[in-house]
Amino acid sequence: MSNARTAKAVRETSESRIEIELNLDGTGKADIDTGVPFFDHMLNAFAKHSLTDLTLKARGDVHIDVHHTVEDTGILLGTLVLEALGDKRSIARYGDAAVPLDEALASAVVDISGRPYLVHSGEPAGFEYHLIGGHFTGSMVRHFFEAFILNARLTAHITLLAGRDPHHIAEAEFKALARAFRAAKAKDAAVDGVPSTKGKL
């Protein structure tokens, strides 16, 4: 029986086609093309800083809006993370990180709990309306987090502590989530079995 924490799948709807292959025990190698350049940048950062090897190809109705592509990517990525985590034996379970990017500072705390919950706060008023790169609205940051975290069945608290530039804000948040997830998914030799008093996560 393989202990590889890998998963792959295709998700296709009338609005998008998403194909993902991942390895939770990778080195952060990424091959990503969603048709949304700033989103590619964020997913590359997530892969790099979470040490997740990620191959991701997405095609969606971006001529209408990036919304469907971002959401559907988050849904499938979360679904595959949950699958790859398997029975969650010997994982650290909890992870936290604070990541600066110039004037921006973001904090993330992750619990691989099996209970999907997101608390996301601190972004400045109007951030959700800002076009980053001319195509990716600030609101898509939270939208991706919701789709990914709920489908991976994580508990996550993501807080922007400081920030002015929308690009820096988004990138600091993605990197903070990545680093916290990296710590939470890591194997811990001191953990015997599933790290829960219930015996299941």
Per-residue pLDDT of the chain (201 residues; tens, 9 = 90+): 458 999 999 999 999 999 999 999 999 999 999 999 999 999 999 999 999 999 999 999 998 999 999 999 999 999 999 999 999 999 999 999 999 999 999 999 999 999 999 999 999 999 999 999 888 999 999 999 999 999 999 999 999 999 999 999 999 999 999 999 999 999 999 999 999 988 888
> Is residue 77, in this structure, part of any structural domain at all?
yes
Pairing of strands 155-162, 30-33: unpaired
Identify the pLDDT of residue 2: 59
Q: What pLDDT score was predicted for residue 1?
A: 42
Residue 200 CA to residue 194 CA, distance in Å, equals 6
Decide if 198 is inside a domain. no
Asked, for residue 154, whether it belongs to a domain, the answer is yes
Number of domains in the chain: 1
The answer as to whether 192 is a domain residue is no
Question: What 3-state class would DSSP assign to 143?
Answer: helix
CATH code: domain of residue 178: 3.30.230.40
Rounded Cα distance, 122 and 145, in Å: 14
Q: How many Å apart are CA 15 and CA 65, to the nearest integer?
A: 10
pTM: 0.96
Q: Determine the structural domain holding residue 131 and report its residue range.
A: 6-185
**Rounded to the nearest 5 degrees, what angle is found at the Cα of 64, between the Cα atoms of 39 and 58?**
40
